[in-house]
Amino acid sequence: MLKKAGCQLLTVHGHTKEQKGPLSGAASWEHIKAVRKAVAIPVFANGNIQSLQDVESCIQDTGVQGVISAEGNLHNPALFEGWSPAVWELAEEYLDIMREHPCPLSYVRAHLFKLWHHMLQAHQQLREELAKVKTLEGIAAVSQELKMRCQEEISRQEGAKPAGDLPFHWICQPYVQLGPREGSKEKAGVRSKRALEEEECGKEVLSKNKQKKQLRNPPTRPSTPL
């Protein structure tokens, strides 16, 4: 149907509609492969991309013509370059871009929550400050403080090896979300992606649909009864 309607390239995200936010889990490359075999137009794959090696494996396993990434790329914007730089390098580069091309502060905060995710787990106070700060320079100050904390830890752990499978948390790296759990989200103690975003980004966050609605219908001043 999409092809007949004029679709020239199809991107397939290998999740069911229930698999979203904290319940996303692993994507099914087998289903992406099935779609690739079923259509004659180019197909791009989305899901389970956490490194450049995953890109190569996905293309080999599914036969798709291209790969895109969302979560993996947000946590490590250098993913498609095949390396994992220090978080503050990309955070500073991003903030420089935002000074030149301003955007809503909630967008900036959301991106930095992704970049600094692992470091913020170890520094809850700075996590709270990042959620509450009201200016771009305030956000930059929190980011600078996180950089200093990283460098202090690096100096203390020089020559040490990271514990477990997780690299040092000042390195850009993916965040692996847990898969679906039995029972309701409330029983499992898991909040929706929307709730997590609101907590991390403050009360400024609006859904894309609400933002578009506000642009179409700006709020008017309520009339005062005579």
Query: Which pLDDT score is estimated for 222?
Result: 43
- Structurally, the chain folds into a number of domains equal to 2
Residue pair 65/90 in contact (Cβ under 8 Å)? The answer is no
Average pLDDT, the chain: 81
The residue-averaged pLDDT of 59-80 equals 94
**pLDDT above 60: residue 128:** yes
Name the β-bridge partners of 45.
12, 67
What is the model's pTM?
Answer: 0.70
Q: How is residue 21 annotated by DSSP?
A: G
Kind and range of the H or E element at 43?
strand 43-46
Residues 168, 89: one domain? yes
Query: Which pLDDT score is estimated for 41?
Result: 96
Residues 16, 67: one domain? yes
The residue-averaged pLDDT of 131-153 equals 94
Kind and range of the H or E element at 88?
helix 87-100
Look up the domain containing 53 and give its range. 10-79
The residue-averaged pLDDT of 43-58 equals 94
Of the listed ranges 1-10, 73-82, 146-155, 163-172, the least confidently predicted one is: 163-172
Residues 90, 157: one domain? yes
Sign for the pseudo-dihedral over CA of 22, 109, 81, 86: negative
Output the CA–CA distances (angstroms, integers) from residue 49 to 14, 25, 58, 79, 80, in the order listed.
11, 12, 8, 9, 10
Report the C-alpha gap between 88 and 94 in whole angstroms: 10
Q: Could you tell me what percent of the chain has a pLDDT over 90?
A: 56
Q: Which residue has the higher pLDDT, 59 or 220?
A: 59
Residues 89, 168: one domain? yes
The residue-averaged pLDDT of 142-159 equals 86
